[in-house]
Amino acid sequence: MKLTFLGAAHEVTGSCSFLDIAGKKILVDCGMEQGPNIYENQSIPVNASDIDSVFLTHAHIDHSGLIPLLYSNGFRGAVYATEATCDLCEIMLRDSAHIQEFEAEWRNRKAKRAGKDEYVPLYTTQDSIDVMKQFVSCKYEEKVYICEGITIRFIDAGHLLGSASIEIWIKENDIEKKIVFSGDIGNINQPIIRNPTLITEADYVVTEATYGNRSHGDNPDYVYEFTKIIEKTFDRGGNVVIPSFAVGRTQELLYFIRQIKTEKRLDKYKDFEVYVDSPLAIEATKLFKEHSRTNFDEEALELIQKGINPLDFEGLKFSITSGESKLINIDRKPKIIISASGMCEAGRIRHHLKHNLWRAESTILFVGYQANGTLGRNLINGIQQVKLFGEEIEIKAEICELQGISGHADREGLIRWIQAFDKQLKNVFIIHGEDNVCDEYAELLNTKYNILADAPYSGAVYDLAAGEWIYSGNVIKIKKDVPKYKASAVFERLLAAGQRLLYIINKNKETANKDLAKFADQINSLCEKWDR
């Protein structure tokens, strides 16, 4: 009955934990690291083909993004997730694969000219399509029997459409334990989706700490503040460019803008246009409407019941093709441009930044968390110049933030969530926070709230039955010159394929000799091709 911490240990992204329980090998999340990579994450301690299940908290790529790679390496178990998460993963994982393939094509054009090795994407679009066959859709609040000794339940975490905390009941050798994985805990009073549901019982809790040392402050009037920013920018004749996460934040912004238009808060610019320039955001917006009755809060549901689409309004335009995207900045009429990625690290937003950062009349409005080292954080921190598409851009645009808007609970929200557990927790494990934040939040729980808490590093192993650490984990910092995805990852993928082949050979031990001989000939033929 062991828990191993792999990803998002003293880091914000790449969530992944490994459970060896009741004779099963299980991952809770399998996310991709985004932004700077601070610590060296330990690999999953077993072959992908040996993983029995993945329990997925939500669809964001830093929680789900490596599931197609797991599939490519031989995983054929079930991925349990909520209904909305399953639908969102279908478009988000495909989008992730497309981005990687596009990047590989671009890199390889340059590499070929420079005589460098080929760059191989982590996984393909086909991998992202094929892995969806492994997804098992679950309803909120309903217990799901996994196997003897393991039962789970998804509880609304209020962070994203379909997001969940996961309760896991374990029975092994007459020892019973309950562990809860928080997933990403939502901020209260967000538009569209419900507040997080509190859980009251557990032996152990693994919780995120994105804002574990910060408060969002009093609940601001987002619509009022947003309106002021739009009006000031339009008065100057500029564009409001919003780097936004395609799923979740974009839909909240559309909700606010519909309200601004409906309440005539910007009557002198009543016909202003809003461009959503992200194919993923467009698909996600459709899914939000499809899941409205099971995921929306009372206010949004009331609009639906009146026949009002809370995410639609006059002047809303969707840009799908790259050609349509390029035309947006040709029209000099002031407008709102919402585009991904939310931290400005990739995607079409960089094109819009190139066309607007140098314009003193424009505003770049940040509406979400910006990780250390990302272009988004650097812009907020006041850099004066940036290089985009090989061109140096002097920053003259106004850079501002819509304060308080976040999909994550702040320190007070996290404490409110953890204090809901009405029995003394044996231990709380702090993950999914910046290096110092994990330590600070653990210290706060220990000293002020008398809750035993640890902030483990990658590789740490805990015995849930005995209630003690087996191994404290690695504290290995990544060197600055080490690329985010090392070339060895491709070789590791090849090794995984070989291990899977051995597994299949052993599995077919009792197959007819005639078929085994044919199988052997196929393997030998492949070996002759590559034995050079």
Which has the closest alpha carbon to 377: 32, 33, 35, 9?
35
pLDDT reading at 116 higher than 70? yes
Say if residues 164 and 156 touch (Cβ distance below 8 Å): yes
pLDDT confidence band for 403 (50 / 70 / 90): confident
Q: What pLDDT, on the 0 to 100 scale, is given for residue 493?
A: 58
pLDDT reading at 25 higher than 50? yes
One-letter amino acid identity for 206? V
Q: What pLDDT, on the 0 to 100 scale, is given for residue 491?
A: 56
Tens digit of pLDDT for each residue in 312-331? 999 999 999 989 999 999 98
Work out the number of other CB atoms within 10 angstroms of the CB of residue 142: 9
pLDDT confidence band for 411 (50 / 70 / 90): very high
| Beta strand 273-277 pairing with 335-339 | parallel
User: Cβ-count burial of 25 within 10 angstroms (0-12 exposed, 13-18 middle, 19+ buried)?
Assistant: middle
Q: What pLDDT, on the 0 to 100 scale, is given for residue 350?
A: 93
pLDDT reading at 180 higher than 90? yes
pLDDT over 70 for what percent of the chain?
A: 94
pLDDT reading at 111 higher than 80? no
| Sequence-ordered list of residues with C-beta below 8 angstroms from that of 334, at least 6 positions apart, any chain | 233, 234, 237, 238, 239, 240, 269, 272
Tens digit of pLDDT for each residue in 479-515? 333 333 333 445 555 655 676 677 678 777 778 888 8
CA neighbours closer than 13 Å in the CB half-sphere of residue 342 = 21
d(CA 519, CA 114): 41
Work out the average pLDDT over 76-82.
98
Q: What is the DSSP string of 189-224?
A: T-SSBPPPPP----SEEEEE-TTTT----S---HHH
Work out the average pLDDT over 445-467.
95
3-state secondary structure of 4: strand
Q: Of residues 25 and 96, which shows the higher confidence score? A: 25
For CA atoms 302, 307, 309, 312, the dihedral sign is: negative
Which has the closest alpha carbon to 424: 455, 462, 450, 456?
450
